[in-house]
């Protein structure tokens, strides 16, 4: 338990950023602020998202529950109002709470506005992304006010709910903006301004929802919402995070603030079904930095559903009973047993109505990917990889009899893991 009664929490959440892209850009010197935080914090090298789709993955981050339990099982579905987020619990415990940028726990297609519950945040500056044309997009309203000519160069026509795909003209015009007019600069500035104005006698939770996916908040491709990372947007987010940290260190809050850096999911081109469960899609960066922490790299298998209970523990606020996540090792003094596996599931359908259900299960160096589709042949239905010798997942060992025992063991343990994440909190309605 923390010595400080209630720590402040700064949570910086990316929409689509894989560990691989993060590592590559950091090694290239493109992310100085994040690199500094990484060297001073606890970095989880094997963190997996429970779903490669945006909304289910984000709902798991905020609830600490698997998508099969919290109910937001695919994009376009809203998180049930009966579920509880860690932001709601912190607000109920007396925290000042604020959101700037993306939240995405509800459908936002056709330029609709996401109705973020007031029970979660005292104040909000909601914006799904720089090119999402909801009238309540706070970033676009800000840009239109301070730089009307730049706004008009991006949006040359009225918003059309039947044309929500990213256009080359809009992307080019947006990326030509100076950094100080970018979406991620605005997110960071909004968070810094709110932190500066917040009263000192209340702990705070500030969530900065950055947009670094190269769809930039526009509608994803209808065959899936996979996307790559925009290096320009990620650099802007890094600069914004650096400025927030500077504001914190210049204030009295620096000594008792936990900084959490995470991505809800990875990124890839979903045009190929094989890409939906590869490491670039489901393995994400996760970092905790706070005064007094022991900097290290943790290679334990963890999940983003572990973020919510860990944040609650660091904030010294009682966790909700439905939380399935574990306390992250090396952050909470290893006070709770962790899983030794990580699981990711996808449950969606293609445009033609065909099922697209998959499960990825990682244990030690092994990774099993299962296609839950009766029409799939044996070579596609099961894929087994040795991530230690084959990190690019080029060699499927599932049909090699040498690994038959390993395959059988992985299938058994995957079934056990699926059972472990079943929801058993509903009351019984009968005596048998």
pLDDT (tens digit per residue) in 41-91: 999 999 999 999 999 999 999 999 999 999 898 888 899 988 999 999 999
Q: In what order do the strands lie in the sheet with 355-363?
A: 341-349, 355-363, 366-371, 382-386
Write down the pLDDT at residue 2.
46
The terminus-to-terminus CA distance of the chain in angstroms comes to 41
Question: What is the pLDDT confidence band of residue 329, given thresholds at 50, 70 and 90?
Answer: confident
Task: Tell me the domain boundaries of the chain.
Answer: 8-329, 342-420
Tell me the backbone φ, ψ of residue 382, rounded to 5 degrees: -125, 130
Q: How far is CA 380 from CA 371, 393, 399, 402, 413, in A?
A: 7, 14, 10, 18, 20
The topology (CATH level 3) of 342-420 is Arylsulfatase, C-terminal domain (3.30.1120)
Write down the pLDDT at residue 1.
38
Report CA torsion sign: 297, 298, 304, 306: negative
Write down the pLDDT at residue 297.
95
Average pLDDT, rounded, for the chain: 89
Q: pTM, whole model, 2 decimals?
A: 0.93
Strand 341-349 with 355-363, pairing: antiparallel
- Given a cut of 90, whether residue 375 has pLDDT beyond it is no
CA-nearest of 210, 195, 208 to 95 is 195
Write down the pLDDT at residue 218.
86
Q: Does the fold of domain 342-420 match that of domain 8-329?
A: no
On whether the CB atoms of residues 17 and 229 are closer than 8 A, the answer is yes
Per residue in 202-249, pLDDT (tens digit) is: 999 999 999 999 889 887 766 555 688 999 999 999 999 999 999 888
Write down the pLDDT at residue 336.
59
For 8-329, CATH gives: 3.40.720.10
Write down the pLDDT at residue 379.
52
- Given a cut of 50, whether residue 385 has pLDDT beyond it is yes
- Given a cut of 90, whether residue 274 has pLDDT beyond it is no
Q: How far is CA 376 from CA 32, 190, 224, in A?
A: 45, 49, 19
On whether the CB atoms of residues 11 and 234 are closer than 8 A, the answer is no
- Given a cut of 70, whether residue 376 has pLDDT beyond it is no
CA-nearest of 101, 257, 263 to 190 is 101
What is the DSSP-derived secondary structure letter of residue 215?
T
Write down the pLDDT at residue 116.
86
Percentage of the chain lying above the pLDDT 90 cut: 69
Write down the pLDDT at residue 178.
97
Question: What is the pLDDT confidence band of residue 425, given thresholds at 50, 70 and 90?
Answer: low
To the nearest 10 degrees (0 to 180), the angle between helices 19-27 and 32-40 is 110
- Given a cut of 80, whether residue 134 has pLDDT beyond it is yes
Per residue in 354-366, pLDDT (tens digit) is: 677 899 999 999 9
On whether the CB atoms of residues 99 and 92 are closer than 8 A, the answer is no
Per residue in 103-112, pLDDT (tens digit) is: 999 988 889 9
């Amino acid at each position: 338990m923390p010595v400080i009664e209630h720590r402040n929490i700064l949570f910086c959440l990316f929409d689509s950023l894989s560990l691989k892209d993060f590592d590559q850009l950091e090694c290239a010197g493109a992310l100085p602020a994040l690199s500094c935080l990484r060297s001073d914090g606890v970095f989880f090298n094997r963190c997996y998202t429970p779903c490669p789709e945006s909304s289910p993955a984000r709902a798991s981050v905020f609830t600490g529950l698997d998508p099969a339990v919290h109910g937001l099982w695919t994009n376009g579905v809203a998180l049930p109002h009966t579920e509880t987020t860690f932001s709601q619990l912190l607000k109920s415990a007396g925290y000042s709470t604020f959101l700037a940028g993306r939240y995405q726990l509800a459908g936002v297609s056709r330029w609709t506005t996401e109705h973020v519950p007031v029970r979660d945040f005292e104040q909000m500056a909601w914006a799904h992304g720089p090119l999402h044309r909801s009238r309540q997009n706070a970033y676009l309203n800000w840009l239109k006010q301070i730089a009307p000519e730049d706004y008009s160069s991006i949006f040359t026509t009225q918003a059309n709910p039947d044309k929500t795909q990213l256009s080359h003209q809009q992307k080019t015009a947006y990326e030509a903006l100076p950094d100080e007019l970018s979406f991620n600069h605005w997110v960071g500035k909004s968070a810094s301004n709110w932190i500066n104005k917040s009263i000192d006698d209340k702990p705070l939770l500030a969530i900065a929802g950055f947009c670094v996916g190269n769809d930039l908040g526009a509608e994803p491709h209808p065959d899936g919402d996979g996307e790559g990372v925009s290096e320009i947007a990620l650099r802007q987010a890094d600069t914004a995070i650096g400025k927030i940290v500077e504001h914190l260190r210049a204030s009295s809050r620096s000594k008792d603030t936990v900084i959490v850096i995470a991505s809800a999911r990875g990124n890839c081109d979903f045009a190929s079904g094989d890409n939906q469960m590869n490491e670039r899609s489901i393995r994400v960066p996760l970092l905790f930095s706070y005064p007094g922490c022991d900097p290290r790299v943790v290679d334990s298998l963890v999940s983003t559903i572990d973020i919510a209970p860990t944040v609650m523990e660091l904030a010294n606020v009682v966790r909700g009973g439905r939380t399935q996540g574990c306390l992250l090792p090396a952050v909470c003094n290893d006070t709770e047993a962790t899983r030794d596996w990580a699981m990711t599931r996808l449950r969606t359908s293609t445009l033609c109505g065909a099922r697209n259900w998959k499960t990825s299960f990682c244990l030690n160096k092994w990774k099993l990917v299962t296609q839950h589709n009766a029409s799939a042949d044996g070579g596609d239905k099961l894929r087994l990889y040795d991530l230690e010798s084959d990190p690019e997942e080029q060699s499927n060992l599932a049909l090699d009899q040498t690994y038959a025992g390993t395959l059988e063991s992985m299938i058994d343990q995957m079934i056990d893991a699926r059972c472990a994440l079943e929801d058993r909190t509903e009351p019984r309605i009968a005596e048998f």
